[in-house]
Amino acid sequence: MSSRAYTTKHIRPQITADDQDAILELLCHLLTPIGTHRSAHLTPSKGRRSKKSRQGGANDGGPPEVPPAPEIMAHIDIGLANISRNLQRQLNTESSQYSVVFVARSSQSSSFHCHFPQMVAVASNSTPSAPATRLVGFSKACEERLSVALGIPRVSSIGLREGAPQAKGLIDYVREHVEPIELAWIEQARAAQYLETKIDAVPTKIGTAKARIGTAKAKAKRSAPSQGELWH
């Protein structure tokens, strides 16, 4: 088994089926107003002809005023690419941290099992004073319910920001039943300490053989004739 496979296997958050069902119910209850608002007030684009038709009928009173979107909509991000960008931004700025990131593993299995948990852990570690971001992976059967709740065809991932309104019950439940992601290299970096260079001076003795050689050389030098003596 490769080291990468070992790492991803052991950092992936594990939850029971009962906890997954409970979290899904709480999340769908929180997101349903968004889907209701979309289905009631936002219609899919039908191209240029539809646009011209609406412009032609603008004199008939115009379209009805659309009420503001549910407040929770400003506190969630949808899509793996969008959430990944925000996690990266969180490392460089004091942007709002995610309380929980939900991932539908059926559509993004490779990302969920490889880089995504590490991204969440590193971004969460950048703000150690805040509670750790939790990562919840839903099974394939949950994706359809999330799509209906949001009123969109497909959902890969959902990021729930810290301080989201009416989300306290969901966040508290997730933090109680889902462990934070732990990466060994992050824990080692936290525990690392700077060690100063320490050099110990060890006294040594010159051996007797070296001492005798040094004495013999000194005597030979003293007894050798100078250049002046050689010319006389």
Domains, in order of start, for the chain: 15-41+69-190 (3.30.1330.30)
State how far the alpha carbon of 196 is from the alpha carbons of 140, 143, 189, 193, in Å. Answer: 53, 54, 17, 10
pTM passes above 0.95: no
DSSP for 10-75, please give it: HHS----HHHHHHHHHHHHHHHHHHHHHHHHH------HHHHHHHHHTGGGT-PPPPPPPPGGGGG
**Sign of the CA dihedral with 34 first, then 36, 41, and 47 last:** positive
Predicted confidence (pLDDT) per residue in 111-136, tens digit: 555 678 888 888 888 887 889 999 99
Contacts of 125 (CB under 8 A, 6+ apart): 186
- Residue with the bigger pLDDT between 43 and 149: it is 149
Predicted confidence (pLDDT) per residue in 69-118, tens digit: 899 999 999 998 899 999 988 887 766 789 999 998 765 556 555 678 88
Residue 52 CA to its chain's centroid (Å): 46
Tokens 């320490």 appear where?
Answer: 198
Q: Are strands 98-104 and 134-138 parallel, antiparallel or unpaired?
A: parallel
